[in-house]
Amino acid sequence: MKRPITKEDPYNVCFVCLGNICRSPTAEGIFQHLVNERKLSPYFFIDSAGTSAYHIDEPANSKSQWTADQHGIKLHSRARRFEATDLDEFDLILAMDQENLRNLRKLSRNGQHTEKIKLIRNFDPQPEDGEVPDPYYGGMNGFQNVFNVLKRSCESLLDELEGLIEK
């Protein structure tokens, strides 16, 4: 994670959950919003993906979109599956929970990419159990909770990465 970030060599971040319709597109949208607010978009490429192929090409879940909209954030991504080739493309791959972390690490040839695969809650100043809960089973409160967790985590992550930018 510790490498200089320049416009010529942007930092590539991928957020990963199971289906890529709730948690990871929310994280992608929040992180992109924060990057845009700080006028740092030339320094980052931001994406999201799922470890399953359940929802390929679908937009973010309507409850995730509604929750993000309430905070002035748009979720533009379409669901895609995380592929083994993504391990070479991204500087940082952030799983939402332990199951997805394990699935990502299984894709890594001989463990060579494990240092770039982390839990997003590693960056949360209030990490609690270390996982971003699946909002599906918590009603609208679940989606708001996920948004709050991801916003804190993304702010902390960007604070750390901003220190690596060479302007």
Domains of the chain: 11-162 (3.40.50.2300)
Instruction: Dump pLDDT digits (tens) for 94-132.
Output: 999 999 999 999 998 788 899 999 999 999 999 888 899
Lowest mean pLDDT among 10-14, 40-44, 130-134: 130-134
> What is the pLDDT at residue 1?
63
Active-site positions read 17, 23, 134
pTM of the model: 0.96
- Mean of the per-residue pLDDT values of the chain: 95
| Residues in Cβ contact with 16 at an 8 Å cutoff, skipping those fewer than 6 apart | 24, 48, 49, 50, 51, 82, 93, 94, 95, 96, 100, 104
pLDDT tens digit sequence for 136-161: 888 899 999 999 999 999 999 999 99
DSSP per-residue codes, 98-157: HHHHHHHHHHSGGGTTGGGEEEGGGG-SS-TTSSPPPGGGSHHHHHHHHHHHHHHHHHHH
